[in-house]
Amino acid sequence: MGSTGHARWAVALSAAGVIWLVACSAYAQPTPDYDRALKISQAVIDKPIGDYTLHDRLRREVRLSGYRGKPLVVSFVYTSCSQVCPVTTQFLAKSVRAARNALGQDTFNVVTIGFNQPFDSPDAMSAFARQNGIGDSNWEFLSPDGRAIEALTRDFGFTWYPTAKGFDHVTQLTVVDAQGVVYRQIYGETFDLAMLVGPLKELLSNQATRSGGVAGLWTRIKLFCTVYDPGSGGYRVNYSLFVELFTGASVIIGIAWFLIHERRKAMQKKPWNDV
């Protein structure tokens, strides 16, 4: 075999080695177990979220406990994602706007957390928010400490797997109640609006019930009168409930007036005994 033949063999062996290394590398990556990921996600419902320190887009320290007092919607992204994370974030933005119109502008908070540390830095999260057109004043983009990622994502039931192109991860929203306890998980790049507004509505109604008073009563009425309209994909006021309330109140007032009137007539007819 001449020198040309040896050269060709060397090139072929080198190419085979590269292919083998790539194949081994791909094989070494964990295969996503979606059933297990779903079980992990569901298992954290009704469990409290720990108090973690993160950094906002201005590098200020933010504690998760600072969001207690209102329902909190949490999403996870990695900022180098070019497809799924931007799509889910933009869809979430539309859903949040609809939820605020239905429930009130300041009734709940939203945070998006970058799980690919140290790359999802405050600057990267800020750029991600700008690129996706997020300007909601009650929506923050946060960077956790890399050492806390494992515990943080475990508390939220969030699972991800490294791949050759980035990460495979559960596409989920976590709804946390005002006490910092996981209330609901929502899955998918897109979802029916009622899946987000419904849990928030339930949480806000429960808070109003506990608060009591006239203000609490009005909040309950306002919340219960907003109903999902599948035709428009949004929420509208259910005026029929106002009609029912008005009719019921009118009947009660009418019965009360009749009883009082009859009592007065009976008292007027009753003879008085002189003492």
Which of the four pLDDT bands, split at 50, 70 and 90, describes residue 48?
very high
CA terminus-to-terminus distance, the chain: 143
Helix axes 213-224, 239-269, angle to 10 degrees: 130
Does position 121 have pLDDT exceeding 60, yes or no?
yes
Element (H, E) at 76: strand 72-77
The arithmetic mean of pLDDT across residues 199-205, rounded, is 93
pLDDT at residue 237 greater than cutoff 80: no
For residues 92 and 274, the model is more confident at: 92
With vertex at residue 75, the alpha carbon angle to CA 114 and CA 206, rounded to the nearest 5 degrees, is 140
pLDDT bracket for residue 15 (50, 70, 90): very low
Q: Which residue has the higher pLDDT, 267 or 17?
A: 267
Question: Following DSSP, what letter does each residue of 112-159 receive, concatenated?
Answer: EEE-STTTS-HHHHHHHHHHTT---TTEEEEEE-GGGHHHHHHHHT--
Q: Which tens digits make up the pLDDT trace of 49-95?
A: 999 999 999 999 999 999 999 999 999 999 999 888 999 999 999 99
pLDDT in tens, 150-188: 999 999 999 988 888 788 888 899 999 999 999 999 998
Confidence label for 23 from pLDDT (cuts 50, 70 and 90): very low
3-state SS class at 211: helix
User: How high is the pLDDT of residue 153?
Assistant: 96
pTM of the model: 0.71
Is residue 29 over pLDDT 60?
no
Distance separating alpha carbons of residues 226 and 270, to the nearest angstrom: 52
